[in-house]
Every structure is written in C-alpha cells, then in structure tokens.
Amino acid sequence: MPELLMISSHFIDHGGGLERVADDLARQLAEDDRFVVTLAAHGPAPARLGYGTLCLRASGMAERVTGLPLLFPHPTDLGALAKAVRKADVVVLHDNLYLANLIAQWVAQRRGIPTILIKHSGWVHSPSALMRIAQSIANRLVLGPSLRSATRCVAVTAAKRDSLSHLARGRNIEIIENGIDTSLFSIRNMERDIDVLFVGRFVDKKGIGLVERLAAQMPECRFLCAGFGPAAPDRGKHGNIDVVERPDPAEIARLYARARVVIVPAHSEGTPLVVPESLACGTPVIASRQAAHPDLPVAIALPIDLDWPDAIVLQWKAAIAVTLAEKTDPRSLHEAVNAHFSLAATTRRYTALIEEIIDAPHNHSPQRAMHPEASADNFASGAS
C-alpha cells in the first residue's frame, strides 16, 4: 500500500483553518484504505486521529508576536522528518510558508519522490513596509522556486491561483476547493444569542480591527470573536465583546448555530472556511468582496480597507443592521454549501491526483530543482 506523508504547520488543536483542512484530508484518505497516511506537524498530536503522526518541535515566538506563520523547527526533528520523506511514495505539503515544509520538499526532490504542494495562503497583509519588502523577497527567492519545483500544484481557490500566477511562471495550478464536514457543520435547534460572530485569527489580514470599531458603534449588539492571535479584541474596553480562544471544530459549529450573523472582513485571496461553515449551519454571512464565493449566497459582499475609514465601517454597520432585521431560510443556506463544498468530493479529487502521480513515475522529478547543487544525502547525514 503506498505511503503518503502529509506535512502541515500544526496539528488540529492549534485552531487554524489550514490545520483543520489537513486533519480532514488525512482522516478521509486514511479511512479510504488506499494509502498509509502520516501527518507531520508541529506540537503534540491529539488522540484518536485515525492516521499516523510525526510530531515536530519548533519555536513559535515569531508567530506569537507578528501573527505570521514563522516557525523554526528543532534540528533533531528535521532528521526524523528527512527519514519520513525518504520512506514516502508521495509527499503532500500544506503550503510552503514553513521551513519544515520547504526542507521536506527539497529532500523529496533530491530523492525523486513526487510532491503535491497545496497553497492555502497568499500575500499576508502587513502595515509594515519592512515586512512587505521581506515578503516580496521571500516570494521571489524561496516561495516561487518552491511552487515551480513541486510535481503538482494545487490552489484552494481560483483567486489564490490567480494571485500565484506571476510566481508559477507558466506552471499549471489546479483548483481543488476545501470541502467541509456538513455532518458537523449543520443546522441545530439552538438559541441565536450571539448577534455578530467573528471566527478567525486575530490579525490585521482577517479584519479583526473592524470588530472593535463596530462594537463601539453598536452597543446594543453582542459581539463574539473566536480564534487566536496577537491582536485579540480588548474585552475590558468594550463590554459587548466576548472572546473564545482556540475553540475546537465542534465548539465552532455550536457558535455558528448560535449566531444571528457572521462577518468575514478578510483581506485574502479567496473564500475562507468560515463562509461555507457558517452557511452550512444556516447562519447568514456578510463577507468582504475578496472572501465571497460566486456559488454561495452571502447576504452582502462589501469592500474592505484595513485602515477602516469611517465610510467603510458605516457600510458594515448598516449591512449588519439590515441582515439582523431580515428573516433567512437556514435550509437553503445549508443546501447551497452541500452542493459546492463536499468533503467527500474533495477527497476523491485528491485521491485521483495522488494515484495519477504514483502511476506516472517519469513525472516525479520536475525539470527545475529548488537547489540543484545540493545533495539530499548530505542533508540527511547532517541533520540526523
């Protein structure tokens, strides 16, 4: 049975959307019994996962301070990761923003092991000119070569694929949208006691700054923010804001079911999981134009400006007031998600892609290597 090594930033308990996607896909592929699945990620692995795990240690100090996914893995664990890569028939990388993922791709490439790179993230908005320059340099010197040297590339939205086109330089990038578990994210008979819900990382790119501005102008509404990050809303400053840190998927589903409206003011390339998950729970969504999806019935799609000028804040305030006053049909929202974000359909597409790569060994090594002068054997001996 082919061995599949998947590499993510963290395990699911970390609370991010990428980690939840990685967990869903690993579980689904393992249950299919066509592959032996191992997920390598940072942090301790939760129990009852249904797939094998490789736990990696890393310093996350930079991520805690900046909100950017900057992890520095333990040198000893890189040796274990290199050994796992050499045993795999296919390596699936959940993004290439992480050092461990880049090293695993490099080892796989030097060994002729095929890689599938799934791009979840794109440009990370930062108010700092220095950070923007650093991102541009990293895109050109590291992330672009990584994208072009993967055996196959996948983007989770069409907008994300388009944002990567200048780095891909003609490489084909397939689109496989993330599916969600509609047995978990479903309509429930719960009191709608949260007026406005925000779910996501507490960073500028996700639009967390809008919540405090809206809460100050809408004291009659109860706001709840679920997530984690360095820019958590100040609960002491506004009495109508509550915060739930790192809720698990089951708790997130309950929060959706309790909310009257979910806001998604994300400055990102394509639709985050929050949009289909909310709708699957029968909860209307107000989203930024970047986060809206053409096949999903968001209540309103609005412009964003992460400096949040008064005109933008007033648009969001008015949209919330209108949506709270309207009656929605929860069943129609749920059915719209079922038609476009099936976890089973997503898994079938990845299964077909993996099997296609395994059956075509001559396609394993791309023409352009990330570091053609390097040797995987030298790396492995130095890291282990």
pLDDT digits (tens, 9 = 90+) for 70-110: 788 899 999 999 999 999 999 999 998 888 999 999 999 99
Pair of tokens at residue 332: 């129609």
Residue 255 in domain: yes
> What amino acid occupies position 200?
G
Cα(244)–Cα(15) distance, integer angstroms? 11
DSSP class per residue in 337-379: HHHH-BHHHHHHHHHHHHHHHHT-GGGSS-SS-SSTT--HHHH
Same structural domain, 9 and 147: yes
Would you say how long the chain is, in residues? 384
Cα(96)–Cα(143) distance, integer angstroms? 7
Write the pLDDT tens digit of every residue in 194-246: 999 999 999 888 999 999 999 999 999 999 999 998 889 987 788 899 999 99
Same structural domain, 103 and 127: yes
Residue 379 in domain: no
Asked if pLDDT for residue 258 goes beyond 90, the answer is yes
Residue 188 in domain: no
Please give the pLDDT value at position 72: 84
Give phi and psi for 11, each to the nearest 5.
Answer: -80, 175
Same structural domain, 277 and 364: no
Same structural domain, 242 and 351: no
Lowest average pLDDT, out of 180-189, 241-250, 267-276, 332-341, goes to 267-276
Residue 189 in domain: no
Residue 124 in domain: yes
Same structural domain, 35 and 71: yes
Asked if pLDDT for residue 178 goes beyond 60, the answer is yes
Same structural domain, 93 and 150: yes
Task: Give me the CATH number covering residue 245.
Answer: 3.40.50.2000
How does DSSP classify residue 278? H
Same structural domain, 213 and 109: no
Same structural domain, 157 and 46: yes
Residue 186 in domain: no
Same structural domain, 151 and 219: no
Q: Which domain holds residue 126?
A: 3-179+342-374
Same structural domain, 309 and 160: no
Q: How confident is the model at residue 384 (pLDDT cuts 50, 70, 90)?
A: very low
- CA dist 378 → 106, 107, 301, 382, 383 (Å): 12, 10, 52, 6, 9
Same structural domain, 223 and 129: no
Pair of tokens at residue 178: 């993330």
Residue 61 in domain: yes
Same structural domain, 293 and 251: yes
Contact 192, 28 (CB under 8 A): no
The count of structural domains within the chain is: 2
Cα(101)–Cα(29) distance, integer angstroms? 20
Residue 382 in domain: no
Helix axis angle for 376-383 and 99-111, nearest 10°, is 130
